[in-house]
Amino acid sequence: MHRSLPAVAAMFSLAAQAQTPAISDADLAIAAQIRDRALDGTSAWDTVASLTSEVGPRFAGSPGDRAAVAWAVDKLKQLGFQNVRTQDVTVPQWVRGTLEVAITAPYPQPLTAVSLGGSIGTAQGAIAAEVVQVADIEALRARPRSEVEGRIVYIARRTARARDGGEYKAAASGRTQGASAAAKLGARAIVIRSIGTSSERFGHTGTVKYVADVPRIPAVALANPDADLLERQLALGRPTTLEIRSTARDLPPMRSANVIGELPGSGAPDEIVLLGAHLDSWDLGPGALDDAAGVAIVTEAVRLIREMQIKPRRTLRVVLFADEEFVQSGANAYAGQPVAEIERHVVAMEADLGAGPVWRFDHRVAEEALPGMGAFMRVLEPLGIRRGSSTADGGTDIAPLRRLGVPVISFQHDASRYFDYHHTANDTLDKVDREALDQTVAAYASTAFLAANAGGDFGRLPPTPAPAPANPAVPVAPR
């Protein structure tokens, strides 16, 4: 893949077929060097180790969140980033407190469970009620009120393992929408099978989204072995009751920050190629895969280019977003900058699907930019990456930019094992594979360089409206 420098004469050769982006053979050669340097070994794993060891859990609004912001500012400076700064973000503050869930009949047993993010607690001490099992959110909505009212709903939906992680999104609707769907039918609480692919005994958290005009009810997820246990007791056909005690609650909003650092462009410094990841994690664990790995991938991608003394034409900007996990305060604050700022973003990419390896190259770019996208594959194919679609949503933190018209590049990481660990206490450093992480850095770094140096750009996407905000009564960061 290393091409001779005379190939520089072929610069913009692709522009003959497409206006944008036009990638030169010389830049492809440099991108291949970046890629191969990354494959030789990066310091990305050390960054994951540093964030998970020196900060650990860093849920929005928590002391760990503030420690993470300080860590990130120091780390970006230490790694040679320029224009290192923070963007203030106001984040909601939810605390899970304590949770006890137990089967009380027919055979009493304690269950391993976690409150879903944003869940209310059981203010009056405990909720004790009979359980009604439903297969999924659709089955819940089809139930008559008489079968649900006064009960605790249990959603039994399993999440299948899949390389593209697509099953997660399908299953997660029960988590996000189940509480209000159950409450509409008079349920007192909702319990779901964890939206995770592991049979290890960890509850899998994630946000519950309450609908505005519906009573809020407590929402918890059972570890998969405990969901099995509940189902075995339910299968006996006898009345099965649960007791739930939770002190989960909202506290006043707190200050947090997006942390930003750059490698300024040598030719077009006002044009930005954004590499994003999120700095926050859930409170249950140190978030090694979600998303310390992403933080490490994007910072290492840019650090490596700088270390190789390569000077990309456009600015490479790393943004470590606040509060991705809960209500995306950081992403919304970032996208809430003046339009002139947003328009400087040529393309955005985000690493938030674990530690790799990458297996597919997706994007969403303007129609007229599509013919140029194939050129990226000349650097990516040797990494075992295949071409995907141009229908990517980009990822949670850059979706608001995409909705404003910013094109996105989106790498699919192999998510086969990701949902074993994601959103659990078990998302620890030992789950991060150095080699896969380096392959991922190779993909992001080479691609970011090509995007920064491409002649022409990726066009603009048609603006799309933002979805309705989740949990409207929960404090959301100002735009």
Number of residues that bind its own copies (CB under 8 A): 30
Residue 224 lies near its own copies (rule: CB under 8 A): yes
**Residue of 78, 199, 389, 464 interacting with its own copies (CB under 8 A):** 199
Backbone φ and ψ of 152, nearest 5°: -105, 125
Written in H, E and C, the secondary structure of the chain is CCCCHHHHHHCCHHHHCCCCCECCHHHHHHHHHHHHHHHCCCCHHHHHHHHHHHCCCCCCCCHHHHHHHHHHHHHHHHCCCEEEEEEEEEEEEEECCCEEEEEEECCCEEECEEECECCCCCCCCCEEEEEEEECCHHHHHCCCHHHHCCCEEEECCCCCCCCCCHHHHHHHHHHHHHHHHHHHCCCCEEEEECCCCCCCCCCCCCECCCCCCCCCCCEEEECHHHHHHHHHHHCCCCCCEEEEEECCEEEEEEEEEEEEEEECCCCEEEEEEEEEEECCCCCCCCCHHHHHHHHHHHHHHHHHHHHCCCCCCEEEEEEEECCCCCCCHHHHHHHCCCHHHHCCEEEEEECCCCCCCEEEEEEECCHHHHHHHHHHHHHHHHHCCEECCCCCCCCCCCHHHHHCCCCEEEEEECCCCHHHHCCCCCCCHHHCCHHHHHHHHHHHHHHHHHHHHCECCCCCCCCCCCCCCCCCCCCCCCC
**Residue of 24, 42, 47, 233 interacting with its own copies (CB under 8 A):** 233
| Binding segment toward its own copies, per CB under 8 A, in 52-60, 122-130, 312-320, 383-391 | 52-60
Least Å distance between CB 274 and its own copies?
30
Residues 429-448 that bind its own copies (CB under 8 A): 429-431
In 10 A of CB 414, how many CB atoms? 21
The 154-173 contact track toward its own copies, x by CB under 8 A, reads: --------------------
**Residue of 45, 59, 154, 202 interacting with its own copies (CB under 8 A):** 202
Least Å distance between CB 91 and its own copies?
21
- What is the rounded distance in angstroms from the CA atom of residue 350 to the CA atom of residue 298? 8
| Binding segment toward its own copies, per CB under 8 A, in 172-180, 193-201, 297-305, 347-355 | 193-201
Which residue number, 212 or 235, has a Cβ lying nearer to its own copies?
235
Residue 46 lies near its own copies (rule: CB under 8 A): no
Which residue number, 61 or 285, has a Cβ lying nearer to its own copies?
285
Least Å distance between CB 478 and its own copies?
31
| Binding segment toward its own copies, per CB under 8 A, in 181-189, 210-218, 219-227, 338-346 | 219-227
**Residue of 66, 141, 201, 378 interacting with its own copies (CB under 8 A):** 201
The 350-389 contact track toward its own copies, x by CB under 8 A, reads: ----------------------------------------
**Residue of 22, 32, 48, 55 interacting with its own copies (CB under 8 A):** 55
- What is the rounded distance in angstroms from the CA atom of residue 357 to the CA atom of residue 359? 6
The 386-425 contact track toward its own copies, x by CB under 8 A, reads: ---------------------------------------x
Which residue number, 423 or 431, has a Cβ lying nearer to its own copies?
431
Least Å distance between CB 238 and its own copies?
11
Least Å distance between CB 350 and its own copies?
26
Residue 286 lies near its own copies (rule: CB under 8 A): yes
Residues 73-132 that bind its own copies (CB under 8 A): 107, 109-110, 112
| Binding segment toward its own copies, per CB under 8 A, in 86-94, 126-134, 197-205, 269-277 | 197-205
**Residue of 77, 145, 169, 232 interacting with its own copies (CB under 8 A):** 232
Least Å distance between CB 200 and its own copies?
5
- What is the rounded distance in angstroms from the CA atom of residue 325 to the CA atom of residue 372? 34
Angle between helices 434-453 and 25-39 (to 10 degrees): 160
| Binding segment toward its own copies, per CB under 8 A, in 268-276, 399-407, 428-436, 445-453 | 428-436
Residues 6+ apart with CB under 8 A from 459: 20, 365, 366, 367, 368, 369, 407
Residue 12 lies near its own copies (rule: CB under 8 A): no
Which residue number, 224 or 453, has a Cβ lying nearer to its own copies?
224
What are the residues binding its own copies (CB under 8 A)?
Answer: 49, 52-57, 107, 109-110, 112, 199-202, 224-226, 228-229, 232-233, 285-286, 425-426, 428-431
